[in-house]
Structure 1
Amino acid sequence: MAVVGACAPERARFARETARRTGRMLVSAQRVGASPEPVAEAMSLLPWCSRPQGAVVEFPECTDVTEVIGASAAADSGVVLTGVLCVVDAAHLLADLHREDCVIHPALPHTRPRHTARALLSVMCVEFASAVVLVNWEPLTTPELSTVLALVNHLGPRARLRLHHGERDPWLREIAASATRYDVTQERSGWVTLLNREHDPYMTDPRVTALHYENVRPLHPGRLARLLDRRIESGEFGTVVRSAGFCRLATRSHVIARWNHVGRMICLSPLASDAHVAEGEELLALGQDLGIIGLDLDVPALREALDDAALTDEELAAGPGAWAAFEDPFPVWPTLSDRSG
């Protein structure tokens, strides 16, 4: 069982409590974090666990939770992951998701350290959790708590939500007893369920909205950059907390890009080239296919603004030769062959 979360003191405290109350061995974040590869370190330690109940592993904040899931699901891992418990500081959730700094991942000798946006790691912990445990929720008003619960449930609709009450929590052993093996094919993220038209959160709040945005036309990169920098980031349409999915830039129209946004961080990165799609295979997307989750969203205005960033009829008719001359302020992408190498 993995314990993850952005706030180290609360995460460590909850991991100790979980291990003690479920009779499991505790592997602390301090222990695995001493290695430049915390996930690999945990996988090497766990086969030595002598407790029949298993172990609780607390992972440091630099950990990508998808690496934990992938490593445990590997055929030769010898480790069974039965739960990901994400500890969320309820009073600081929005601040955590709007952080602009990066986590520096430990590096092996003679290699460069990797940098990952702290907000992205935080939101992924929520999205891939089997249970989200809210701590420090008591100072929130009832409306504030309702909004936080609904937002968490929209981000991770497959996760169970629990308010932490310390020693009075009867659900901790229940979660441990009812745990099932994690599978890499499980689709837990709210944005993925939006794209699959399976998004059905059980917690709602008037302030929290989720929408599925589609548009087959490529995006004009200059207009998109201005929309992101001047209008979405300023909160003109409300607070877009999370958006993710697929898109195409007109200047790079042969490539499907991954759209990955949380808070004030956005990254567009190449996923697949149309030239490499085998006969009979489906494209990931024709144009934009985005799941968007936010607070106080003006959905019609946001949809219209995204539509305006796509090519007009005249631009579309001009063809890729004309598109190549469009303003494109986004960073140059490595070629897909470079990435695979």
Structure 2
Amino acid sequence: MTDDPRVPLTVLSGLAPGPSSALADALHLGDARTAVVHHDLRQIGAGVVRRRLRLGPRDQLTALELAHGCVSCTLREDLLPLLRRLARMPGVGRIVLHLDEAMEPEPVSWAIENVLVGDRPVSEDVVIEAVVTVLDTACWLADATGDETLDERGLIASPEDERTVAQVLLSQAEFADVLVLSGVPADGWSAAKANAILERLAPAATRIDLSALDTDVAAKLRAAVPANARRGRVTDMHGPLLTGEPPLHPDCGIALFTFTATRPFHPGRLHDAIDVLLDGVVRTRGRLWVASQPDIAFYLESAGGGLGIGHAGPWLASPDGPSWEEVSPERRTLASLRWDPVHGDRAQEIVVLTDRAAPEEIEAALSGALLTDDELADGPSAWRAYPDPFGEWHEEPCEDTEVPESTVEASSAQNRKDDRK
């Protein structure tokens, strides 16, 4: 990366405001040519975002008034243009993007690579050197397996933000190249259990203790980035659901369970069955084939007590599906391995990171939501007439907001488990 003329960018995230700020401070003080940018979203409901920019002795706080209070506006109207300006300043050698606690690094990385500022993306000016996430080990396990919403904690990123703390926390961790651990776990069991989750959630990420970053912080972080790190590369929703080489054996009650099937889900029974993913489950990621919308692949994510389902685009076998040359080699390989002469690449593929949940109960619930032999024989014309609870979609606050392909739109199925009782 030393021959790359673009300015290196570190994306720093985490729901640990104190330790994250301490790390950002250390990166700022360690190099006078490092610009540190932070957007505070605590007043975003009133259309105000507070931006702090530090570079050498400069420490500038600016209140930004947005037409619509949302993260997408902040990205499009201020953050991306600012990154371009900083990258072109002679005095800037590196940039640290210190995200607000409620922001996830994956959609930000997508925006840097894909959203146009003028006629070009900002990725022509900056290159993501590392994605670093700070974890507070004192409360990380409880937050990762809990039901609390961002709203309940006062951390929403827009007035319509319904995400849970667990959804944000796990998304930040699994997208990181380096996990910086701070705080002291409540006890040895909590430490072991959190370790078991992280080994399966982010097996490729390097873990380093914050106390080890007392000197030469930037150099130590760069050295900790794995050679095969994703460095902000966004995963295709049709890409692998398991990344790295996670342990497949259970540990401290934590285990990985995979559900696959080559027949569609009945939409009504699926809507009822997904409750099984809201108890005793840490994380779920999957692609679904729903009978009432047979040409569209669905993408499912859950974390703690929050769950969302959204469109992932058409299947390759769909009438308006992409050509094989337009998709990734991984997707072509997977489709080739499971291609059905009638249904093509349509299939169920769900990976569940469990905590106390019995895999056989998940298997039974999801299997019961599949079409029966008689329903399967009726064919797509009959399937499309099924009542469909997944037909209404949440819209971004801004009608003109560009939405990352990696972002799962929240449908009417997005609920906390206490709302579904």
Cα offset for 1:223?
A: 1.6
Cα offset for 1:279?
A: 5.2
Q: Unaligned stretches of 5+ in structure 1?
A: 107-112
Q: Distance in 1 between matches of 2:190 and 2:363?
A: 27
Q: 1:164 to 1:254 in 2, by over 3 A?
A: same
Q: Deviations over 1:167-205 (max 9, x none)?
A: 65788632224657855557599x965457x54359973
Q: 1:18 to 1:148 in 2, by over 3 A?
A: farther
Contact 1:7/1:88 (8 A) holds in 2: yes
Q: Name 2:135's counterpart in structure 1.
A: 88
How many residues were matched structurally?
324
Q: 1:165 to 1:340 in 2, by over 3 A?
A: closer
Query: Greater CA deviation, 120-129 or 320-329?
Result: 320-329
Q: Distance in 2 between matches of 1:45 and 1:68?
A: 17
Q: Name 2:208's counterpart in structure 1.
A: 162
Q: Distance in 1 between matches of 2:357 and 2:90?
A: 48
Q: 1:192 to 1:17 in 2, by over 3 A?
A: farther
Cα offset for 1:58?
A: 0.9
Q: Distance in 1 between matches of 2:196 and 2:236?
A: 16
Structure 1-normalised TM-score?
A: 0.78
Q: Deviations over 1:77-114 (max 9, x none)?
A: 311221111011223224434333466546xxxxxx76
Q: Name 1:50's counterpart in structure 2.
A: 91
1:322 to 2:363 alignment: no
Contact 1:192/1:291 (8 A) holds in 2: no
Q: Distance in 1 between matches of 2:90 and 2:140?
A: 34
Query: Greater CA deviation, 291-300 or 72-81?
Result: 72-81
Q: Distance in 2 between matches of 1:187 and 1:22?
A: 32
Q: Unaligned stretches of 5+ in structure 2?
A: 1-9, 41-50, 53-61, 65-72, 114-120, 326-331, 336-343, 395-399, 404-421
Contact 1:194/1:212 (8 A) holds in 2: no
Cα offset for 1:21?
A: 4.5
Q: 1:51 to 1:101 in 2, by over 3 A?
A: closer
Query: Greater CA deviation, 252-261 or 65-74?
Result: 65-74
Cα offset for 1:147?
A: 1.0
Q: Distance in 2 between matches of 1:173 and 1:60?
A: 24
Q: 1:148 to 1:21 in 2, by over 3 A?
A: farther
Higher helix share: 1
Cα offset for 1:153?
A: 2.6
Q: Distance in 2 between matches of 1:43 and 1:202?
A: 41
Q: 1:139 to 1:75 in 2, by over 3 A?
A: closer
Q: Name 1:68's counterpart in structure 2.
A: 108
Cα offset for 1:298?
A: 1.7
Q: Distance in 1 between matches of 2:176 and 2:206?
A: 8
Q: Deviations over 1:29-67 (max 9, x none)?
A: 442595542442552353137254x23221113433123
Q: Name 2:3's counterpart in structure 1.
A: none
Coordinate RMSD, CA, aligned: 3.8
1:28 to 2:77 alignment: no
Q: Name 2:28's counterpart in structure 1.
A: 19
Q: Name 2:370's counterpart in structure 1.
A: 310
Query: Displaced runs of 4+ in structure 1, greater than 6 A?
Result: 169-172, 338-341
Q: Deviations over 1:306-327 (max 9, x none)?
A: 1111112122112233334434
